[in-house]
Structure 1
Amino acid sequence: MKNRPRTYVPGDVPAIRVGRAAALAASLLLGLASGSLHAKGSPGMAPIDAYLLDRTKEISLARSAAPDAISKDATILVLTRKGYETAVKGTNGFVCYVGRGFGGAPDWPERWDPKILAAACDNPPAVPTMTALLKLRTALTLAGKSDAEVMDRIKAALRTKEIPPLAAGAMCYMMSKDAYLSAQGEHNMAHVMFYVPTKDGTTWGANLPGSPVMGGNYWYLLPGHEADVAALPAISVFLVATSTYSDGTAVAPHAM
């Protein structure tokens, strides 16, 4: 990742250090497996039960990712011992779910923290690629596949277009008041996230002083993985903080 994310509230007033938390939010949902991925049973992973939620609670948290006008008609996924399954079949093409830490970038230190509950809602253009990648990686991780097996399976899915190339207009709502995205800072940040098939954020002005846009590479949180990234489709993630949560209540300035 060429530029470390940073964020500013309107008026160019530096926010409390949530740039890292926002980057972690992006990587949580989007990071794919690599040679450094921990397999199930590694010392860092808690028992699977630690990551599971009451089904009704998980459905509610997933819906809270986006405004009700969107999430009320969305498909809802819940995590099981084998991966995500559909709990509610929607009608508008959106898919909402609660991301866990092990769905994130393999170099993220918080990856195995059971507290991570990232409510998210992918829009229809994002679902075939981004939601599919999350589901595949999660299932492989919970099945105890090795690092090499996980990455080989993902690359095969991309190569054969079982998981298609990223479509234009792909984005995600992450506006839940009750999400826990990181142990850092305020633990949460209401935002919307855009998935773009580009290598960096130059054309978006991401991470520049005064810009409300934060950006980073989809595949890894930290620099040092250039060779790995070069072998994968170019995908960047851009985040913009919102002034309200999905229920319409205002976000406190210190939490943005």
Structure 2
Amino acid sequence: MANRMIGAIASCVVCGVVLIGADGVGWGQGGKALYPAMAPIEQYRVASVAEEVALARSAANVAVSGDAEVMVLGSHGYETAAKGTNGFVCLVERSWATTFDDPQFWNPKLRAPHCFNAAAARSVMPAYLKRTELVLSGLPKDQVEARMKEAVATKVIGVPEEGAMCYMMSKQGYLNDSAGHWHPHVMFFLPTTEAAKWGANLDGSPVYAAQGAPEPVTTFMVPVMTWSDGTVER
């Protein structure tokens, strides 16, 4: 069971960001990628700031996200749209959060609401924000990857802080063309480690893991029973 699930789990982790991938998803006939290049930026935008704020907050229950800072996608990167008081930061990640070899790297439909706790906001989220700035600057994917590798090598991007975690419990998320919003889950971020040592990705285990590339992070995903609005997953 777990092995089959891993085939549907994240081929991506940047800043611990998890988008759900599946073998062959995003590939057309003849092996041609359905998303070979970045689409016009308008296709990655949400209709309004208010709508994006609401989508970002849907990552966690209101007790967490209601007092969180919220960031939205701007012209050159993410911008603060709402101040927070509890240390959490919510935002909606786009497709370039995935691994660089993922065929859905440029899929403009992807929307992944996350709500990071303070430790993750300081030590995990910056990698995704850096990727976003590079993408919006117009660099091609191979140069974005090279810049990210350099940032890791020079310690501009480091390992997750102790206690770094994130909520992904939104019904409205769209994690790829196959998985939709997948399952409500929480994520825990560690410096790169072997998943099996934590019991993740083993047959019957409720814990899944994915490795960052090139970011030095292992993301552990634990499905939960309810969505952020309190309804039970069915």
Shorter-normalised TM-score: what interval?
Answer: 0.7 to 0.9
Query: Which amino acid is the alignment partner of residue 250 of structure 1?
Result: V
Given the superposition, is the C-alpha separation of residues 50 and 186 from structure 1 closer, same or farther in structure 2, using an over 3 Å criterion?
closer
Given the superposition, is the C-alpha separation of residues 57 and 202 from structure 1 closer, same or farther in structure 2, using an over 3 Å criterion?
same
What residue is the counterpart of 1:64 in the other structure? 58
2:30 counterpart of 1:6: no
Q: In 2, are the aligned partners of 1:83 and 1:135 still within 8 Å (CA)?
A: yes
What residue is the counterpart of 2:211 in the other structure? 217
SS of the residue 1:196 aligns to: strand
Deviations 1:59-111 (A, max 9, x none): 00000001111101111010012111111111111110001001221111112
The runs of 5 or more residues in structure 2 that have no matched partner are: 20-34
SS of the residue 1:126 aligns to: helix
Q: For the residues of structure 1 that align with 2:12 and 2:228, how far apart are their CA atoms?
A: 16
Q: For the residues of structure 2 that align with 1:58 and 1:247, how far apart are their CA atoms?
A: 17
1:23 CA displacement: 1.5
Query: Which amino acid is the alignment partner of residue 138 of structure 2?
Result: G
Deviations 1:209-249 (A, max 9, x none): 11000112122xxxxxxxxx5xx63x211111111001110
2:185 counterpart of 1:191: yes
1:187 CA displacement: 4.1
2:40 to 23, 47, 65: 47
Query: Which amino acid is the alignment partner of residue 169 of structure 1?
Result: G
Given the superposition, is the C-alpha separation of residues 110 and 149 from structure 1 closer, same or farther in structure 2, using an over 3 Å criterion?
closer
1:151 CA displacement: 4.2
Deviations 1:21-49 (A, max 9, x none): 44157568269xxxxxxxxxx94211000
What residue is the counterpart of 1:108 in the other structure? 102
The two structures, once aligned, show a CA RMSD in angstroms of: 2.5
1:133 to 123, 127, 134: 127
Off by >6 Å, runs of 4+ in structure 1: none
Q: In 1, are the aligned partners of 2:56 and 2:114 still within 8 Å (CA)?
A: yes
Count of aligned pairs between the two proteins = 217
1:181 CA displacement: 0.7
Given the superposition, is the C-alpha separation of residues 81 and 21 from structure 1 closer, same or farther in structure 2, using an over 3 Å criterion?
farther
Q: For the residues of structure 2 that align with 1:135 and 1:192, how far apart are their CA atoms?
A: 20
Q: For the residues of structure 2 that align with 1:165 and 1:25, how far apart are their CA atoms?
A: 17
Query: Which amino acid is the alignment partner of residue 84 of structure 2?
Result: G
Greater RCO (CA < 8 Å, at least 6 residues apart): 1
Residue identity over aligned pairs, in percent, reads 43
Q: For the residues of structure 1 that align with 2:192 and 2:91, how far apart are their CA atoms?
A: 25
1:198 CA displacement: 3.0
1:113 CA displacement: 1.2
Query: Which amino acid is the alignment partner of residue 143 of structure 1?
Result: S
Given the superposition, is the C-alpha separation of residues 171 and 247 from structure 1 closer, same or farther in structure 2, using an over 3 Å criterion?
same
Query: Which amino acid is the alignment partner of residue 205 of structure 1?
Result: G
Q: For the residues of structure 2 that align with 1:176 and 1:167, how far apart are their CA atoms?
A: 25
What residue is the counterpart of 1:251 in the other structure? 233
TM-score after normalising by structure 1: 0.76
What residue is the counterpart of 2:84 in the other structure? 90
SS of the residue 1:209 aligns to: coil
Q: For the residues of structure 2 that align with 1:240 and 1:90, how far apart are their CA atoms?
A: 26
Query: Which amino acid is the alignment partner of residue 131 of structure 2?
Result: R
